Amino acid sequence: MKMRFSVLIITVILVSTISVAGGSKKEELYGIWVNYEYKGSSPPFMTIFKPDGTYQDYRLEAFVWELDVEKTEEGWINAGFGPYEIIEKWTDEGGNIWYKIESIAGANEKSFNLMKISDSGNTLEYMLGKAGYAEETDPNDVKYRIYYRQE
């Protein structure tokens, strides 16, 4: 009985890891990214990029009152989702991985995001763009976002 339970738990963990990581089609972007300092209705405190070309945003329930969204047991709300497409990917001389991503938000708004994953793979910075891609990330810009990989 204990052996069956152990095998079941290990199987669930492996399937979960493969589904988030994308199995053999691993992109550094795939996974869960969080920033608990984002407590308001925007930006989301957690974003999940999935290998199937979709992303999911979550906001803290206490700060979103006007949206009709799915609540989770953890007090988060499913506040945004949509497809995304990797348009371009490259690695700079410092080992940082850059992406140009096009995505569609819940209101059918197209977004052009310039993203940078640190050489350690633990920090995601990006600039939102509605009219086109930014040329660089700028922490002082209102369209700048920073997230940390959730293990």
Mean pLDDT of the chain: 76
CB 148 within 8 A of CB 34: yes
Q: Would you say the pTM of this structure is higher than 0.85?
A: no
Confidence of residue 22 (pLDDT cuts 50, 70, 90): very low
What pLDDT, on a 0 to 100 scale, did the predictor assign at position 136? 93
Q: What is d(CA 92, CA 27) in angstroms, rounded to the nearest whole number? A: 16
Pull the structure tokens for residue 26.
């691993």
Domain ranges (residues) in the chain = 2-149
Residue environment code for 46-85, b if the CB has 16+ CB neighbours within 10 A, otherwise e: bbbbbbeeebbbbbbeeebeeeebeeeeeebbebbbbebe
> What would the pLDDT profile of 53-70 be if each residue is shown by its tens digit?
988 888 766 544 444 445
Q: What is the pLDDT of residues 128-140, one digit of tens each?
A: 998 899 999 999 9
User: Per the structure block, which two tokens stand in for 90?
Assistant: 């490259």
Q: Whole-angstrom Cα distance, residue 86 to residue 66?
A: 31
Instruction: Give pLDDT, residue 120.
Output: 95
